[in-house]
Amino acid sequence: RYFIDWKNDVDSYFTIDATEGTIATNEILDRESTAQYNFSIIASKVSNPLLTSKVNVIINVLDVNEFPPEISVPYETSVCENAKAGQVIQTVTAADKDLSPAGQRFSFRLSPEASNKPNFTIHDYRNNTAGIETRRNGYSRRQQELYFLPVVIEDSSYPVQSSTNTMTIRVCRCDSDGTILSCNVEAIFLPVGLSTGALIAILLCIVILLVIVVLYVALRRQKKKDTLMTSKEDIRDNVIHYDDEGGGEEDTQAFDIGALRNPKVIEDNKIRRDIKPDTLRFPRQRPPVEDNTDIRDFINQRLQENDVDPTAPPYDSLATYAYEGNGSVAESLSSIDSLTTEADQDYDYLSDWGPRFKILADMFGEEESYNPDKVT
């Protein structure tokens, strides 16, 4: 009897016929995953199972060309606008997922649909590499920014496998030395002297102007709505109507003119001095006038009393002192209460006033006693 040593983990891939000893596969083998299997076969005698022998079996998996070759790495190919015909812009290589034998060769060519377009071509260097070359002078980004070049790659194994790989070629702006300056899409539509930062600044200014215009229109509409608002719509209740008229010039209570004449006095003394106070004033006790009081001193005394009187109008500069009040020895000097004629008056009391009023007593005394020539 024949059986596989169960100590190995390859029993799931292979099986053996117990009578014939034929080894067969249980699953599909992949050379790229495992190229060789190593396990043991045990043979035992049917009549005596203790008599056994073991042999190692090595199985090599042969390669089958099942994967086509492809471009090894993705390339970002670019061409300058000022490129010349025959200029190599990219070198490409290929790779195969199969475990290719030594001496595997790859070939490169353009697909039939790309052979008729005189833009780019591919040159096979016969060393598993190829170069992408230009076929005309100059390229314009404004006309076409991207070119797609289909490249066919074949291997040399049996059966031959091939694949078509599409390469993308971008047109860029370069300087005179061939150094790439810009390949951005937005650079196509911008002038040479306008940078991306300047474009962003211009866009920001436009946005700010639009916001200002929108705010201005909104404020104008709000102001117009407030102007057309009726009294019923106005819920603020801040409109006050006055139906009474002022007193005009006779309205002395409307404004204190003393504040304009002398503001410092008004701040110090809060009593209004432009009108007569309503409160009753008690008569002040004035000192009695002596018989020999001088008229000038008498007038100065009364003047000082009126100056300190808070109820006296501050704008009056002329005061008439015609009545001295009760208790005056000379009584009233005013002519308002005088008699109609001087003959009806009695001026004898002037003689009692002393030597100072002698001339006055002579003037108003008896006519025959007055002699102007004697006046000195």
Q: What is the mean pLDDT of residues 131-155?
A: 91
**C-alpha distance from residue 165 to each of 88, 160, 317, 369 (Å):** 18, 17, 118, 159
pLDDT of 172 above 90? yes
pLDDT of 120 above 90? yes
What is the Cα–Cα distance from 10 to 39, expressed in whole angstroms?
A: 7
pTM: 0.42
Cis peptide before 288 (omega within 30 of 0): no
Q: What is the mean pLDDT of residues 62-87?
A: 88
Q: How confident is the model at residue 294 (pLDDT cuts 50, 70, 90)?
A: confident
Q: What is the mean pLDDT of residues 184-203?
A: 66
pLDDT in tens, 205-249: 999 999 999 999 999 888 776 665 555 555 555 566 556 565 555
When mean pLDDT is compared across 212-216, 274-278, 326-330, the lowest value belongs to 274-278
Mean per-residue pLDDT of the chain: 76
pLDDT of 347 above 70? yes
What is the pLDDT, as a whole number, of residue 35? Answer: 86
What is the Cα–Cα distance from 279 to 128, expressed in whole angstroms?
A: 126
* % helix, strand, coil for the chain, step of 5: 25, 20, 55
What is the pLDDT, as a whole number, of residue 288? Answer: 61
**Better-scored residue on pLDDT, 116 or 300:** 300
Q: What residue spans define the domains of the chain?
A: 2-60, 70-181
Helix residue spans in the chain (DSSP H): 196-227, 258-261, 263-268, 295-307, 358-364
What is the pLDDT, as a whole number, of residue 190? Answer: 46
The conformation of residue 321, written as its DSSP 8-state character, comes to: -
Percent of the chain exceeding pLDDT 70 equals: 63
Nearest to 15 by CA among 31, 4, 30, 5: 4
- Is the CATH code 3.30.300.30 the one for domain 70-181? no
Number of other CB atoms surrounding residue 10 within 10 Å: 16
When mean pLDDT is compared across 7-11, 123-127, 197-201, 216-220, the lowest value belongs to 7-11
When mean pLDDT is compared across 94-103, 279-288, 341-350, the lowest value belongs to 279-288
